[in-house]
Amino acid sequence: MQINPFELLKNVQKLQEQMGDMQQKLEAVGATGSAGGGMVEIDLNGLFELQAIRIAPELMNERDKNMLESLIVAAFTDARDKVKEVIGREMGGLTGMPNLSSLFAGMT
């Protein structure tokens, strides 16, 4: 079996284009995680970059500091898990494979 290097190069270029498209899609993906019944909300994009935090005014006092910190972590985790799920679906569409969200289970 002979391998045509030009055909191989064309396939690599196509894959690079698809990865570039995926990068743009990831930047556009967004998810909101929440904790404490919506008292803390966090928005992440598909690159797991923090976009916004919203905190209910009633949590803004010194005595609730520990609870607020815990809720921020919980909301971030919720948003991260939602982004992983969306990425898995998007990657599945790109590769033609079913939902690949399990591949992102180890990402933190």
Which domains, ranges and CATH numbers included, belong to the chain? Answer: 28-104 (3.30.1310.10)
Quick one: DSSP state of residue 82? H
Pairwise pLDDT comparison (3 vs 72), residue with the higher score:
72
Which pLDDT band holds residue 29 (cuts at 50, 70, 90)? confident
Give the list of residues 6+ apart from residue 37 with CB closer than 8 angstroms, or none. none
How far apart, in whole angstroms, are the C-alpha atoms of residue 77 and residue 108? 9
pTM of the complete model: 0.60
pLDDT confidence of residue 37: 94
